[in-house]
Amino acid sequence: MVHRPIYLDCHATTPVDPRVVEVMLPYWTESMGNPSSVGHLYGWEATSAVSHARDCLAQAIHATPEELIFTSGATEANNLAIKGVAEAYFSKGQHIITVTTEHSAVLEPCRYLKTLGFEITELPVQTDGIVDLAVLEQALRSDTVLVSVMAANNEIGVLQPLAEIGALCHERGILLHSDAAQALGKIPLDVETMQIDLLSMTAHKVYGPKGIGALYVRRRNPRVQLAPQLHGGGQEKGLRSGTLYPPQIVGFAQAVDLAIAELEDESERLTQLRDRLWHSLQSLGDVHLNGHLHQRLPGNLNISIEGVDPQGLMLGIRGDIAVSSGSACASAAAQPSHVLKAIGRSDRLAQASLRFGLGRFTTESEVDTATTVVLETVRSLREICSQVQHKTSKLSP
């Protein structure tokens, strides 16, 4: 049997929980109707399933079912939110604020809008990865139509102060969008108390299927206007045309239901595992924690290690543990992580980073094994580096 590495990359994606697969199966084979086919039983079954799922997802973020628009994932939801607001509110202003550490699914739509004449402000973060509220407040202008700040960072796990940001925006009549792809089901989210106007979600970060997500769009105080980015049959109130996919939608709702039900206990368990891992890795010395020590996702640990070759580090561990260096979307690139650069890490430290994403099926034994692998690999690489430096110094005149 082929040896498979221990999976510790749950910020990239998660395995689908068997309990999620179970509820999805009938909608591929038995209740396989199109929710738009309202003239027969199969369509009614699909419509009912989608409606129930919408109710469950809305309840998870304290929204109403009518405020949820299903999408193919968080990337589409982010694009619909940002481009949709920009187009709908064009006459009000063309200034949008976001943050340098956002996911590319937020930064790239913003940069696209810049080519159309919009002014984009990318706020810096502090060394712990958190936005300075005073800097944000100073950046707000009379022509600012949208602020986009993610709930939890996909690389360093940092949690942004959304409630405070929401209050600042609403005082000035500015809309707040948040990419909550990493946060949904892992921390409490309440769009009302946090004063969030648009919220992007996805299923595959929370033990659901890939290819399904949703966008929350506030309908009151204020009622958010959006320009659709996909045109067709007029599904999802005309904001996102395309045939709805009941198996994925049902799985999405089940995944979130399970995550919310288990949130408190799972958060405590993952925090203990994460702290156990961090405590052990500190024995290496010259190891830097990336991001705030406490204000972060329970299962996230992102570190930079001095005195190692970045490529050698990944090559040394990848046969035993599956982790990322930076985000999954950019880990194949040669450039250092823009998130780690934004918090002040050098190119070398940014490249010599490891992102551990602990999840629902991660065990204490796996964490201990991963710790041993990293400790042995780093010590071996440092010894090789020391020997090379010693030989080099002896050859120097």
Reported as a single tens digit per residue, the pLDDT across 348-375 is 999 999 999 999 999 999 999 999 999 9
Is 18-257 in CATH node 3.20.80.10?
A: no
- pLDDT at site 396: 59
- DSSP element (H, E) containing 280: helix 246-281
Q: What's the pLDDT band for 391 if we cut at 50, 70, 90?
A: low
In angstroms, rounded to a whole number, what is the distance separating the alpha carbons of residues 262 and 140? 38
Please tell me the pTM assigned to this model: 0.95
Residue listed under structure tokens 């200034």: 95
In percent, the amount of the chain with pLDDT more than 70 equals 95
Q: Does the structure show a pLDDT above 60 at 259?
A: yes
Q: What's the pLDDT band for 256 if we cut at 50, 70, 90?
A: very high
Residue 2, token pair as written in the block: 């082929």
CB burial of residue 160 (10 Å; 0-12, 13-18, 19+): buried
Residue 226, token pair as written in the block: 């959006």
- pLDDT at site 393: 59
In angstroms, rounded to a whole number, what is the distance separating the alpha carbons of residues 74 and 349? 29
| Catalytic one of 10, 56, 110, 329 | 329
In angstroms, rounded to a whole number, what is the distance separating the alpha carbons of residues 383 and 378? 8
**Domain 6-12+263-391 shares a fold with domain 18-257:** no
Residue 29, token pair as written in the block: 């084979």
Average pLDDT over residues 270-289: 97
Q: Does the structure show a pLDDT above 60 at 327?
A: no
Average pLDDT over residues 178-198: 98
Q: Does the structure show a pLDDT above 50 at 77?
A: yes
CB 95, CB 121: distance < 8 Å: yes
In angstroms, rounded to a whole number, what is the distance separating the alpha carbons of residues 271 and 157? 12
**What is the rounded average pLDDT for all residues in the chain?**
94
CB 297, CB 271: distance < 8 Å: no
- pLDDT at site 141: 98
Q: Does the structure show a pLDDT above 80 at 1?
A: no
* pLDDT digit string, tens, across residues 206-230: 999 999 999 999 999 999 999 999 9
Q: Which CATH architecture has domain 6-12+263-391?
A: Alpha-Beta Complex (3.90)
* pLDDT digit string, tens, across residues 6-65: 999 999 999 999 999 999 999 999 999 999 998 999 999 999 999 999 999 999 999 999
Nearest C-alpha neighbor of 88 from the set 186, 269, 217, 253 = 217
Q: Does the structure show a pLDDT above 60 at 106?
A: yes
In angstroms, rounded to a whole number, what is the distance separating the alpha carbons of residues 95 and 169? 13
Q: Does the structure show a pLDDT above 60 at 329?
A: no
Radius of gyration of the chain (CA): 23
Average pLDDT over residues 162-187: 98
In percent, the amount of the chain with pLDDT more than 90 equals 92
385 catalytic, yes or no?
no
- pLDDT at site 385: 78
- By three-state DSSP, how is residue 65 classified? helix
- pLDDT at site 9: 98
Give DSSP secondary structure letters for 310-357. HHHHHHHHTTTEE-BSS-TTTTTSSSPPHHHHHTT--HHHHHSEEEEE
